[in-house]
């Protein structure tokens, strides 16, 4: 149940108390749970929802909410809270970075990096903690072993310092901003214009985001073809921006600032390549941004269903089903006898779900559950 009305990313009209349209949608889930009487239930939402709402959800479900970051099992930093009536441990960190899931040769011409501010010069190097800084630079120093204040050469590494090509962080690493025409500094530095390193995690996919990098983030990615594109050369851990060389922790090669493709977004959500190909790119990214990370859901469900025979019949009721990720997870787990009921009103999400699983029984608007005579067929 992903609710944009409760997300901290919502600039206006964010609901922070258990009332309003968002809460009415949650009540539909509670009504479904009461009427359906499942053996197992699973609830999901954004970890950024207000504490008052989070606390009331936990009370209504009668379970503690568990925060799991999809970064443990994917290349995406995606913090979500889950409520379920069985026990599950946190998944193990698989150490996947964005560079592991990038396509070889994307479309597009690339964006220009604007001249770096002093803060962005720090971003070109900065891991997200001193501990990660020590791992990346092979040093135990608590200060950066580079002269970040020297605009003529912010790339001088002391003798013997090794630059790692891997990352252990669960978060994205910002390295700059693209040139843009925003009229004030706050908007000039907004999410859609920020550039991130491919060696770390991707930012959270956002289904309701705007243009440029708002849905997927922007990344400095390697490319094979430079002709007709705005590209940057990295040599000896140095990149030149506006005629000024800066240190950067990337392999030698040609790079381009770009958004992620729909296929890469599928990989961030750990879905099969082409899973959302039944709709346009815009609707693919929207559906994926509003959806689940499949590997997280599979991990959670396995805690409840690991001992259930794979041919035993499962009757599933999925509220706000989206693109059918729940159906995919059960299929991946090997269940072969399913009656899967879904409530969803987005026609594009339904099209994606049905293109992959035509056996899903679609019921439309979740408010139908409030009718006194409601029952599954």
Q: What is the pLDDT of residues 52-107, one digit of tens each?
A: 999 999 999 999 999 999 999 999 999 999 999 999 999 999 999 999 999 988 88
Q: What's the count of helices (H) and strands (E) in the chain, helices before strands?
A: 10, 13
Q: How far apart are CA 258 and CA 273, in angstroms?
A: 20
pLDDT band of 161, cuts 50, 70, 90: very low
* Residues 122-143, mean pLDDT to the nearest whole number: 41
Q: Residues 2, 320: contact at Cβ < 8 Å?
A: yes
Tokens at 152, concatenated: 């003529």
Give 117's DSSP letter.
P
What CATH number is given for 4-95+267-370 in this structure? 3.40.50
Helix (H) or strand (E) holding 204: none
Other beta carbons within 10 angstroms of residue 331's beta carbon come to 15
Residue-level pLDDT at 338: 96
Residue-level pLDDT at 135: 43
pLDDT band of 288, cuts 50, 70, 90: very high
E strand spans, the chain? 42-46, 66-69, 79-84, 174-177, 194-196, 218-222, 231-235, 238-241, 244-247, 253-259, 314-319, 338-343, 361-362
Between β-strands 361-362 and 338-343, what pairing exists: parallel, antiparallel or unpaired? parallel
From 69-78, 123-132, 240-249, the region with the lowest mean pLDDT: 123-132
Give 98's DSSP letter.
G
Residue-level pLDDT at 27: 96
Burial of 59 (0-12, 13-18, 19+ CB in 10 A): exposed
pLDDT band of 156, cuts 50, 70, 90: very low
Residue-level pLDDT at 25: 94
Residue-level pLDDT at 191: 82
| DSSP track, 19-33 | -SHHHHHHHHHHHHH
Residue-level pLDDT at 226: 86
Q: How far apart are CA 234 and CA 225, in angstroms?
A: 15
pLDDT band of 131, cuts 50, 70, 90: very low
Instruction: Render pLDDT for 176-234 as a digit per residue (tens, 0 to 9).
Output: 888 887 766 566 677 888 899 999 999 999 988 778 888 999 999 999 888 889 999 99
Instruction: Render pLDDT for 305-344 as a digit per residue (tens, 0 to 9).
Output: 999 999 999 999 999 999 999 999 999 999 999 999 999 9
Residue-level pLDDT at 140: 34
> Would you list the domain boundaries of the chain?
4-95+267-370, 104-259
Q: How confident is the prediction for the chain on average, in pLDDT? A: 84
Q: Residues 357, 327: contact at Cβ < 8 Å?
A: yes
* Residues 40-52, mean pLDDT to the nearest whole number: 95
* Residues 250-278, mean pLDDT to the nearest whole number: 95
């Amino acid at each position: 149940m992903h609710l944009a009305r409760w997300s901290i990313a919502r600039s206006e009209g964010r609901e922070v108390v258990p009332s309003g349209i968002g809460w009415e949608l949650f009540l539909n889930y509670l009504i479904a749970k009461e009427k359906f009487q499942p053996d197992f239930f699973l609830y999901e939402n954004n970890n950024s929802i207000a504490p008052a709402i989070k606390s009331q959800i936990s009370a209504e479900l009668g379970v503690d909410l568990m925060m799991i970051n999809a970064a443990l099992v994917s290349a995406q930093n995606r913090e979500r809270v889950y409520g379920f009536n069985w026990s599950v441990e946190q998944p193990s960190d698989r150490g996947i970075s964005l560079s592991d899931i990038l396509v070889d040769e994307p479309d597009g011409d690339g964006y220009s990096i604007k001249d770096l501010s002093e803060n962005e010069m720090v971003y070109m190097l900065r891991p997200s903690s001193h501990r990660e800084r020590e791992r990346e630079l092979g040093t135990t120093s608590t200060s950066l072993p580079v002269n970040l204040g020297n605009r003529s050469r912010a790339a001088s590494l002391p003798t013997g310092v090794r630059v790692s090509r891997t990352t252990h962080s669960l978060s994205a690493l910002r390295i700059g901003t693209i040139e843009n025409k925003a009229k004030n500094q706050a908007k000039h530095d907004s999410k859609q214009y920020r550039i991130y390193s491919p060696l770390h995690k991707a930012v959270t996919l956002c289904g309701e985001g705007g243009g440029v990098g708002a849905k997927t983030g922007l990344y400095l990615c390697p490319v094979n073809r430079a002709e007709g594109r705005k590209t940057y050369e990295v040599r000896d851990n140095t990149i030149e921006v506006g005629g000024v060389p800066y240190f950067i922790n990337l392999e030698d090669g040609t790079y381009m600032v770009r958004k992620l493709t729909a296929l890469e977004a599928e990989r961030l959500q750990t879905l099969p390549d082409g899973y959302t190909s039944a709709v346009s790119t815009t609707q693919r990214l929207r559906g994926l941004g509003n959806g689940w990370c499949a590997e997280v859901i599979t991990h959670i469900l396995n805690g409840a269903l690991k001992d259930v025979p794979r041919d035993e019949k499962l009757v599933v009721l999925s509220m706000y089903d989206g693109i059918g990720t729940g159906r995919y997870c059960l299929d991946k787990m090997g269940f072969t006898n399913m009656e899967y009921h879904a409530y969803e009103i987005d026609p594009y999400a339904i099209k994606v779900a049905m293109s992959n699983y035509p056996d899903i029984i679609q019921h439309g608007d979740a408010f139908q559950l409030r009718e006194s005579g409601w029952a599954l067929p």
